[in-house]
Amino acid sequence: MNFSSKLLENAVNEFSRLPGIGQKSALRLVLHLLNQSEQDVNRFSEAMSELKTKIKYCSECYNIADNQICEICASHKRDKSIICVVEDTRDVMAIENTNQFQGVYHVLGGLISPMDGVGPTDLRIEQLLERLRKGEVEEIILALSATMEGDTTIFYLYKKIKDFNLKISTIARGIAFGGELEYVDEVTLGRSIVTRIPYERNIA
Ligand SMILES: [Zn+2]
């Protein structure tokens, strides 16, 4: 692509580094921004730069938060004896939208994937075990994607936590194999949390 301006080219290059954005889409977005008021563009760039500098990860569950402790962990209405283990913040948002879960979360920050070079130590598994050692947790729900990586991670976690004397369950996989949690509709996801099944029954 030949650009008439270096500034334009820089902006297009930055946008096209985003997932799913090619150079043409990037150009369309940049030209759109250029047509906005200076105030709007400033608000946009401020939101982007604050994203990295100001956002925190909850020191309990590692969900993205504005404070040291996220709103879910800080709430007295949430049942701290049930932890729902998820891959990332998108899953927390999806499950919260179902209004079917009153416990708290643990965000792993990914799934075990040898193909992508992601091992157990790259995830917040030790932090989860640390929470369990405090002895206040009675149930763990493993709400991970129905993919090979999800299953591998569930099995690994199960081996690590089975001696803690907890109820361990997985969400009912009405979800098609290969399905990611965030794409499941709220009713299905909500139901699959309510009708969660003990994990042991799954290993046959
Ligand atoms: Zn939290």
Using the mean position of ligand 1's atoms as its centre, give its distance from the Cα of residue 59 in Å.
Answer: 7
**Structural fold of domain 6-54:** Helicase, Ruva Protein; domain 3 (1.10.8)
Q: Write out the DSSP string of 1-50.
A: ---S-HHHHHHHHHHTTSTT--HHHHHHHHHHHHTS-HHHHHHHHHHHHH
Rounded Cα–Cα distance for residues 152 and 142 (Å): 12
Cα 72 to ligand 1 centroid, rounded to whole Å: 6
Token pair of 50, please? 């604050």
Distance 58 CA to ligand 1 centre (A): 5
CATH 1.10.8.420 residue window(s) in the chain:
6-54
Fold type of domain 57-202: Dna Topoisomerase Vi A Subunit; Chain: A, domain 2 (3.40.1360)
pLDDT of residue 188: 76
Using the mean position of ligand 1's atoms as its centre, give its distance from the Cα of residue 106 in Å.
8
**How much distance in Å is there from the Cα of 108 to the middle of ligand 1?**
12
Tell me the average confidence (pLDDT) per consecutive run of 10 residues in the chain, 204 residues long: 92 95 95 96 94 93 95 96 96 92 96 94 96 95 90 93 91 60 72 79 50
Q: Where in the chain is the domain with CATH 3.40.1360.10?
A: 57-202
Longest pairwise C-alpha distance within the chain: 66
* Burial label, 117 (beta-carbon count in 10 A; 0-12, 13-18, 19+): exposed
